[in-house]
Chain A
Amino acid sequence: MKINLIIFTFLACALASQAATTVAVKVVGKDGAPISEAEVKVASANAKIALDGTITPADESVGYSDEDGLFAGTGYGPMGISIWVKKEGYYPHGYPPAKTYRITDKTNEATLHETVVLRSIEKPIPLHAQQSEIWSASQREIPLMDAWVGFDFEEGDWVKPHGDGKSSDVLFRYNGEFVKFVDAGWPMEKLREVNRRKVERQGRVWNEEVFRKEAGLWKGTLEISFPSEKEGLVKVEESFMPHSVLRMPHQAPEDGYAPTHVYQEADSEPHTFRDDVGYFLRTRVVLDRQGNIESANYAKIYGDFQFSPKGYVAFDYYFNPTPNDRNLEFDPKRNLLPDNVEGSNVILP
C-alpha cells in the first residue's frame, strides 16, 4: 500500500504535466488526390486496468475524412498511437491482415501530421499463390548445392526430377559453408552427445555430417536467375506499403527487370532479408524473331526471398498464369493452388 501511495503521488504529478497529442491524418489515393468520407480511427496504446480488474479502453477518436481528406484525432501518445483507415472500394490501411500503422510521439509537438495512401480495389483475380516462411515447416530445402534448380510457380514445386514442377519460372543456386559449431554453453562432448540422442530419438541417422548441419553455424550465397532472355525481377521499395492490405501496386511494370539477384547470409549475423520490400517477376518469356517479347507471365513476391545458408529458401509468391496479363491483384478467395497444398491459405491480396 505504501508503494501504491508513492506511485499515485507520482502519477498525479505526471498527469498534471501531460497533454494530449493531436494526429492530423490526410487520406489520399495513389495519385495523391484527397479521399473524403474515409473512416479514420486514431487510438493510443493507453488502456487502463483498475485495481479491481476493470478495463478502460484506450483513447480512441473515430471519424471521417473531409473533402480535403483530413481528419484529426486526439489521444495520449507516449506509448504509441495507431492509425486505421478504411473506405468501401479501397483496401484498408492498418487493419489485419495488413501491418498495424503505429507512430510514437517523442516530439512533444501538439499536432503530428500523417499521410495515408489508400489503394483502390480494381480487379482482383485468381492467381497461383503460396506462402512460406524460413525456419518453419513451410520452408523449402534446395535440392542441390552448387547447381541451378528450377521452381515452377504454377505447380508450387521444384522442377523435375526434384519435384513435380514442369517449367522453371525462377532458378536458384546456392552455396553453403560450415563455419563453426554453435557455442551451446556445454563442452563439445556433451553437445555431441545430446544432439546425437535428439536425432536418434527422431528416428534419423546421426553422423558427423548431420551434426554439422544441426549444430553448425553456416554462411552461404543464394543466386537467383531465370532461364530465358528478358526474364527477371524488379525490386519494389518505395511503393511497397506494408500497412495496406494490398502491399504492392496492382500491376507488374513493363520494364526494369534485372536478370539476376544475389543474397548472402550467415547464421551468426543478422539476416539480410526484409519484409518491407517486394519483387515483380517476368517469366516464361517468348521472343519473336526481332527479339521482342511476344509473350510473358508475371508474378510478385512479398518480402525478400528468405535464405538459410544451410540450404533452405522461402518466399511468398503470386503467379498469373495468363500470358501478357500484368495484373497481380489477387482475390484470396480464388487461389488456383488447391487447398491441400501447404501454404495455399493466402489471405493477403
Chain B
Amino acid sequence: MKLMYQTCDSRTPLDPITAAFFWRLKTDSLLKMDVVPDWDRDGVIDQADRGKVTDSDPYRFWINDDDDSGEWDIDDVPQRGNDADAKDLQVDGLRDLVDFFPLFFDLEDFLGSFDDLTTVDLKLSGSSLSYIQYPANFDGIEPSDSWKYLSDLTFARDNLADAVTVKVSDDSANPTSLGADFVTLASDGKGVLLLEGVDASEPSNPLVLHAFVNGTEIFTYEFPLKLSDVEDMYHHRNLQDVAKNYDGSDEVASIAGESSRSTAPNWPDAVTNGKYFVYLHGFKVDGQRARGEHAESFKRLHQMGSNTRFVGVTWHGAVDPDYHKGVYQAFETGEALNGELGLSGDITVMAHSLGNVVVSNAIQNGGFLPNRYFMVNAAVATEAYAFSAVEQDMVEEDWDSIPHRLHAGEWHKVFEGTTDARKNLKWRNFFAGVPQATEVVNFHSPGEDVLAHMVGTDEESVYSRVWTWNWNLARGAWKAQELVKGKSWLSTGGESLLFERTQAGWNRNLLAYLPLFTNWSNVTNEEIQTTPVFDRFIEDDLTDEDETVAQTKAAEMKVKYDLLGRAIPALSYAAAIDPIGSGLVSNFNMETSGRASGLNGEWPVEGHEKSSEDTGSWLHGDFRANALHFVYPMYREMINRGGLDDEN
C-alpha cells in the first residue's frame, strides 16, 4: 500500500507523482488516506480494521454466483453460470445484498484540501469486481454503520435492492470512474462503496484506486483482495452414503452432493479463530439444495462477524414423500456423525428441522459432544428432550376413547421399571441426555407453518391433506405425519402408500380387539405385551412370548430408529414451535426476539402467501429464506452465544 500516513516531510523519498501531489497541497500535516474493509465484520469500520489487509493476508470474499431474487427465496446454490447474480449488472433484490462487501475509501482529509471537488475524479481498476451505483441524492453509508445495507430494511429497499451495478475496469490504463457524487460522499467521510465479486478466474489481482486531479493521475492505492467461489471458504462433509435401508442395502441419493472438502483455500484455518461451526440441513434437501443452504448459512454468519471454520454437512434426507424414512435415515446418520466429522476443539453445531434428529442422536448415541447446539425450527417432539405431558390433540381421533396406556406411544410403560429393552421404545426423553452434554438453545417460532399445532385437527385422511397435494410443504405437515403413523391405506385414502414400512402407530388391531365388544379397562398389560391394541410391528419378535427374543430385538438400534420413525407416534408438539420446558434447554423465540427492530410490521410477502396464517409469521425456513434484513438478530444471537466472532 502506498501513501498511508505518509507526510510531505517524510524522510522516505517520494516518487515524482506523489511529490507533485503533495506540492500541490502545500501542507506539512499528516494526510490520512486509506481503503478499509470491515475486517472484523462487526458492522463498524474503525481503527480496529485499519492496517489489517496486506499482500500476504488479503481481504477475502466470495464471488456472487448464486441466483437470488426478491426478499424471500430458497435457492442460493452457487455456480449458476450465466444466471449468476453478478452477471446481470444489477442488485437482484434484498437477498442479493449479502453477496456484497463494504469498502471505506477514507479520503476525507485528502478531498478536504480541494476548493473545487469537480477537479477530482476517483477511479477503480481491477479484475472481477462490480460496485453498486448509488441512486441520485443518496445519503451515503457511514463507516460507523457499515452493516446498514444488511440491517436497515427501509434504507436497503429504497436505495439498493434494485440498484444498478457497474463493472470495474480490468484495464488499469482506463479505470472506471466512481462519479462526482461518490467524490462528494467521500469528502463527507461517507465513502463506503458496496462491491461484489464477479468471477474468480483472476482471484488475486488487487483492487486499485486511482486518484485524478484535473485529469492527471496523482496517485494509486492498491487494496489486496482474494476472491473465490464461496465453497472455497468452508469445509464440507458428504454423508449421503451413511444411511442404509432397513435391510442393510445401500440407499442411493438421487441427487448427489459435492464431495467432502477438508480445506477452505480462501478462508484457511490460519485466519479463523480455530472454532468449528457445523451446519446440518433438514428433510427433503438433496445434494444440490444442500449446497445452497450451506452457502447461504456461511455467508450470513460470516457477514455478521463469525470467524469460525464453517463445515456444511450433506446427509441423505431427500426421500420425500416418505418422511418416516427420512427420520430413520436421520437417526442412522446421527450415530455416525461424530466419526465422519472427525473434529476436535470448540464446536458449535446448528441444525434445521429434521437435521436435529441427526445431531441429537449423534449426541445421545454417537459420542458427539459439541460445546453448543443450536436447534432451529427443530422437527423433533419436545418430549424427546423433556417430557411433561401428552398433548391430547396429538392423539388420533380414533383413539380418543381408548386409554393412553394402550396407545403405541405408551406401550413402553408396560416394561417400565424392568431391564426389558422395550421400555426404551418411546420418543419420551429419548434425547434427554442432549441438554446434559451440551449447551442447547432452541430457536423456535410460534408462527411455524410446517410444524404448526393445527389445534383441533386430530385425524389424517385424504379429505384433509392429500387432495391438496402439499404433503411436505404444508401447514401442519409434521403433525400429519405423526397422525398417519401406522394408518392403513384404506383409512387414509391412500396416504399411507407414501410410506414403505407402515406399522403399529394409530392403526388398530381389529382382529384381536373388536371395536364394539372390547372393554378397554379390562385389557391388561400382560395381554398387550404380546398382543397390543395397535396394529402389529413388522418385526414380530418384539411381541414374542419369549421375552428374551423380544428384548434382544428391541435392543437393536436400527429397530429403535425404525419404530420411532414409523411406528411410535410423538405425543407432544415439536420444538420448532414450542419452548422446551423444565429449564434444561435455553429457548429463543424468533418471532419476538429474532426479528430486526424497526421493521414496523414489515415482513416478506413472497413465500408467505399460501394462506393468511402465513402472513407476517416467522415460517419454517424464514431464518434462511428471508433476506438478512429481517432476521439478522437471530444470527447475532448465535454469534454472541458461541463467541463465534472471537478473533484468531
Contact = CB atoms under 8 A, between A and B. Distances in A.
Q: Do A and B bind each other?
A: yes
Interface in B617-641: 617
Contacts of A270: 388-389
Given A135-B586, A215-B436, A185 B429 contact: yes
B371 A201 contact: yes
A145 interface: no
Contacts of A269: 388-389
A45 B613 contact: yes
A194 B464 contact: no
A148 interface: no
Nearest to A197: B369
B611 A7 contact: no
Nearest to B612: A43
Nearest to B474: A47
Contacts of A103: 456
Contact of B464 (A43, A48, A78, A138): A78
Contact of B498 (A3, A13, A217): A3
A202 B441 CA distance: 14
A191 B464 contact: no
Nearest to A310: B583
User: Interface range on chain A: under 10, 10 to 19, 20 to 34, or 35 or more?
Assistant: 35 or more
A190 B589 CA distance: 31
A195 to B, nearest CB: 5
Given A191-B433, A308-B583, A198 B439 contact: yes
B464 A79 contact: yes
A60 interface: yes
Contacts of B467: 11, 14-15
B437 interface: yes
A133 B470 CA distance: 34
A79 B457 contact: yes
Interface in B434-481: 436-439, 447, 454-457, 462-470, 473-476
A80 interface: yes
Contacts of A47: 468, 470, 474-475, 610-611
B414 interface: no
Contact of A104 (B447, B457, B586, B611): B457
B320 to A, nearest CB: 12
16 contacts: A48-B469, A49-B470, A49-B473, A55-B610, A79-B465, A80-B457, A96-B601, A133-B589, A135-B579, A135-B586, A136-B586, A185-B424, A194-B433, A198-B438, A214-B436, A267-B582
B424 A49 contact: no
Nearest to A99: B446
Contacts of A10: 462, 466, 493-494
Contacts of A214: 436, 584
B433 A48 contact: no
B581 interface: yes
Interface in A200-219: 201-202, 214-215, 217
Given A14-B467, A49-B470, A50-B469, A131 B433 contact: no
Given A45-B611, A135-B581, A102 B498 contact: no
Interface string A287-311: 0000000000000000000001010
Contact of A41 (B436, B497, B589, B612): B612
A171 interface: no
Interface string B566-584: 0000000000000111111
B241 interface: no
B462 A185 contact: no
B589 to A, nearest CB: 6
A182 interface: yes
Interface in A212-240: 214-215, 217
A271 B601 CA distance: 32
A58 B579 contact: no
B592 interface: yes
Interface string A55-97: 1011010000000000000000011101010000000000110
Contact of B436 (A7, A15, A191): A191
B485 to A, nearest CB: 18
B315 interface: no
Contact of B470 (A6, A14, A48, A194): A48
Nearest to B430: A185
Contacts of A6: 489, 494, 497
Interface string A336-348: 0000000001010
A191 B613 CA distance: 42
A36 interface: no
B79 interface: no
Most buried by A among B364, B433, B455, B466: B433
A134 B442 CA distance: 13
B455 A104 contact: yes
Given A7-B494, A133-B592, A198-B437, 6 more contacts: A11-B466, A11-B467, A80-B456, A136-B586, A198-B436, A267-B583
B457 to A, nearest CB: 6
A102 to B, nearest CB: 6
A1 interface: no
Interface in A127-166: 131, 133-138
A106 interface: yes
A175 interface: no
Contacts of B601: 96
B551 interface: no
A6 to B, nearest CB: 5
B597 A96 contact: no
B495 interface: yes
A163 to B, nearest CB: 21
A43 B615 CA distance: 12
B437 A195 contact: yes
B473 A186 contact: no
Interface string B483-504: 0000001000111011000000
A134 B588 CA distance: 10
Contacts of A78: 457, 463-464
A18 interface: yes
Most buried by B among A44, A95, A194: A194
Given A185-B433, A271-B388, A136 B439 contact: no
B585 interface: yes
A135 B582 contact: yes
A82 B614 CA distance: 11
A6 B581 CA distance: 43
Nearest to B464: A78
